[in-house]
Amino acid sequence: MFAHSYLRSTKDTVTFLDRSVSGEFGAEENTFTLDEFRAYVMDFGDAIGAFRASLGASKAQFEAFAKAALSLSRNSNTSPGTPRESA
């Protein structure tokens, strides 16, 4: 996932905060030059494309999944129960 929190930037760098996603809380700053950040974003895009291709899914299918997940998240209070209870 591309999930960083923006901290600060200068004309030459951008710094993000990486936080732990589980276990004990931890945080670390990561500073990139603008060229390093561009390369990081491009590598991320390439990795997403490779992941999608490995699943045999089209970009449209990924977008439809994301739209459905966001819709479900927004309407989660209307669900009659957990999937296990509804199955």
In this prediction, residue 80 has a pLDDT band, given cuts at 50, 70 and 90, of: low
Phi, psi of 56 (to 5 degrees): 70, 25
Model-level pTM? 0.55
Predicted confidence (pLDDT) per residue in 7-26, tens digit: 888 999 998 888 777 888 88
The full set of domain ranges for the chain reads 5-75
- The Cα-based distances of 67 to 2, 3, 64 in angstroms read 17, 18, 5
Rounded CA gap, 31 and 19, in Å? 14
Q: Which of 14-23, 46-55, 66-75 has the highest mean pLDDT?
A: 46-55
